[in-house]
Chain A
Amino acid sequence: QVQLVQSGAEVKKPGASVKVSCRASGYNYNNYVITWVRQAPGQGLEWMGWNNAYNGNTKYAQQFQGRVNMTIDTSTSTAYMELTSPRSDDTAVYFCAALSRGVFDPWGQGTLVTVSS
């Protein structure tokens, strides 16, 4: 059974990069695409981008271009999402999910990132 397990909560000061991990079990990352979605407190879901482990291609939502870097380490079946120079309004729960034919399934449990001075 496919499972995605994310790293624990982070507290960061504004401007200090944050990196969230997403480890897969039950399948081989080599053939999968991982996508990232965030949810600010009390708000809806916001798609951030995806990273294709097979060919290394990435696609970022326009509002995150230049601020986010998504990578995958296939040797450890772990995907990473790094947000550079975060601001207080980047405080959110960050989710990873497997992406296939436009469908997000399954999801990781989420990682709370708090950006505060």
Chain B
Amino acid sequence: DIQMTQSPTSLPASVGDRVTITCRASQTISTYLNWYQQKPGSAPKLLISAASSLQRGVPSRFSGSGSGTDFTLTISSLQPEDFATYYCQQSYGSSYTFGPGTKLEIK
């Protein structure tokens, strides 16, 4: 099975900061990588698919990049509503796995 890791586990930041979250796969997955945002008490929300394709309605301050084993999610200027937990998910093949999550916290 493909294992996913994320760093950091927790990220204290302030409104207006530029932040980057890293996701790494245990084997190459091309660009079969999606990003989700989850707020407490809610279902996850799809932000980015295929490593860099921004979903409709997601603000352009979110961006994704990477291929192979290393991927990043960047928020260019943090807004108050962005404080949440972010998960990467690999979709290579027919079995899927999520990263452990990165909690974006107010500094």
Contacts and interface: CB of A to CB of B under 8 A. Distances in A.
A45 B1 contact: no
A62 B1 contact: yes
Given A47-B96, A47-B97, A104-B36, A95 B87 contact: no
B95 A110 contact: no
Contact of B44 (A46, A62, A102, A107): A107
Q: Is the interface of B mostly helix, strand, loop or mixed?
A: loop
A82 interface: no
15 contacts: A35-B96, A37-B98, A44-B98, A44-B99, A45-B101, A47-B97, A50-B94, A61-B95, A102-B49, A103-B34, A104-B36, A104-B46, A106-B46, A107-B45, A110-B43
Contacts, number: 55
B43 A108 contact: yes
B8 to A, nearest CB: 14
Interface residues of B, number: 23
Interface in B72-107: 87, 89, 91-92, 94-101
Number of chain A interface residues as a range: 20 to 34
B87 A44 contact: yes
A45 B46 contact: no
A70 B81 CA distance: 35
B87 A104 contact: no
Given A47-B96, A61-B95, A103-B49, A95 B101 contact: no
Given A61-B95, A102-B91, A102-B96, A95 B49 contact: no
A59 B93 CA distance: 11
